[in-house]
């Protein structure tokens, strides 16, 4: 049986303080005809790769909010940020998410900073089921260093890569936890992660020999 991570997740802001515990909330059974599947996580956590593979299994479309922004703006993300700034990029990103969430039946790979907006987190909650691809800093850095396109991604801070990853994880991890329905372990293979999603959604039987699966928010 799954080794659920039994820990509290505390999200605090000026308006509220809430602790999520497994079993505290329940959601209706998943239907791809009614909902979308959103993949959340840091850069290099595998959202696009897993999303593409998952969509192939489910025989549904897969969209990427970063790709949608690039197509809409006619510029790379690097160029958008350099010429117009991060606020302009975030506005384009929010518009892309609204468009992606408008109709059900797809897998949506999101940008790493999509959770910075409460409006985005609320929209994903209303229109789908969200999976957080959790990865440690070492895995993310190793993947980034192997990525031939890493130079095309704008820096998030003026820090060196190792320090930037640590800083961004510190800023965003609680937001990923707040926005997710289920947690995936990003170091697992793509095939295993696709199976984990299907099991979490009730679309595949649980393999009780597995020792490592998903952390449910609910």
Q: Which residues are known binding-site members for Mg(2+)?
A: 48
Using DSSP's 3-state secondary structure scheme, residue 85 falls into coil
Per the annotation, where are the binding residues for substrate? Answer: 66, 90, 112, 172
Alpha-helical (H) ranges within 4-112 are 47-58, 65-73, 77-84, 86-101
Query: β-pairing, 215-216 with 182-185?
Result: antiparallel
CB half-sphere exposure, 12, CA atoms < 13 A? 2
Per the annotation, where are the binding residues? Answer: 44-49, 66, 90, 112, 153, 172, 188
For the stretch 148-156, contacts whose Cβ atoms lie closer than 8 Å and that sit 24 or more positions apart, written own/partner, are 152/76, 152/77, 152/78, 153/43, 153/77, 153/78, 154/77, 154/78, 154/81, 154/82, 156/113
Per the annotation, where are the binding residues for ATP? Answer: 44-49, 153, 188
Packing angle between helix 190-200 and helix 47-58, nearest 10 degrees? 60
Decide if 140 contacts 166 (C-beta within 8 A). Answer: no
């Amino acid at each position: 049986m799954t080794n659920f991570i039994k820990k509290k997740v505390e999200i605090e802001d000026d308006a509220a303080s809430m602790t999520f515990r497994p079993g505290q909330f329940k959601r209706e059974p998943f239907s791809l005809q009614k909902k979308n599947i959103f993949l959340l996580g840091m850069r290099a956590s595998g959202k696009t790769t897993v999303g593409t593979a998952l969509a192939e299994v489910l025989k549904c479309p897969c969209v990427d909010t970063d790709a949608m922004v690039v197509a809409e703006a006619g510029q790379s993300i690097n160029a958008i940020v350099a010429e117009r700034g991060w606020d302009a990029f975030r506005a384009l990103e929010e518009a892309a998410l609204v468009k992606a969430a408008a109709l059900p039946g797809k897998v949506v790979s999101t940008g790493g900073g999509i959770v910075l907006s409460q409006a985005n987190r609320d929209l994903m909650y209303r229109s789908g089921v969200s999976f957080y691809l959790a990865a440690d800093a070492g895995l993310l850095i190793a993947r980034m260093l192997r990525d031939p396109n890493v130079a095309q991604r704008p820096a998030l801070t003026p820090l060196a890569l190792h320090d930037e990853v640590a800083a961004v994880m510190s800023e965003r991890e609680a937001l990923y936890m707040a926005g997710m329905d289920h947690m995936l372990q990003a170091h697992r293979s793509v095939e295993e992660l696709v199976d984990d999603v299907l099991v979490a959604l009730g679309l595949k039987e649980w393999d009780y020999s597995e020792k490592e699966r998903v952390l449910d928010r609910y």
